[in-house]
Amino acid sequence: MVLNKKNFNAVVVVEGKDDTIRLKQFFPGIETFETNGSAVSKKTLAELKKLSQSREIIIFTDPDFNGERIRRLVSEAVPTAKQAFISRKEGEPEKRGNSLGVEHASKEALERALSDLHEVEAAKSDLTPAAYRQLGLAGGQGAKKLREQVGIILSVGYGNSQTFYDRLLTFGISLDQLQEAVKEVKNGK
């Protein structure tokens, strides 16, 4: 996949300059919009809202608490934004002490994330809280690890139990899709 100004009309929302540097390393023509960390201002959100009127917006934040906070704020301001995710493992730094981030992801992880985008689905998911719990994604031993692995398969990232459930609904993931992903994880063990 080649991302450049000629065939990639989107602007990718990232947290900071290190993310931009990493993306431009592999995709020289890519355009980014930096939120400058988790302190996303009203001005920044207004700029993104205006930009979304003429350009596609892709939210690509770090797989951590602050990244999820930024994703939520930008999604509220620009509900049509598409979502790109890397797993926590893909965002791990090589040096200890550094935080998780897009800036640490491999070219392959970045390509996969930017080619497997998610949109808010108008269609309702048939997933229920009871079915979600029954699949072992909430409240039980191993639920966190299962959510992380299922998030990788479905390319929706990681979240705590409620965030992950909400994300599945937002992206219109069906009960059948979720059951298949859980089965894949359990059979892969």
Distance between first and last Cα of the chain: 31
Q: What is the pTM of this model?
A: 0.75
CATH class, range 11-115: alpha beta
147, amino acid identity: R
| Domain limits, the chain | 11-115, 129-188
Lowest mean pLDDT: which of 11-20, 95-104, 111-120, 136-145?
Answer: 95-104
pLDDT score recorded for residue 91: 86
Could you tell me the pLDDT band of residue 2, with boundaries at 50, 70 and 90?
Answer: very low
Contact 11, 33 (CB under 8 A): yes
129, amino acid identity: P
Three-state DSSP state, 28: coil
What strands lie across the sheet with 57-59, from one edge to the other?
Answer: 31-34, 11-14, 57-59, 82-83
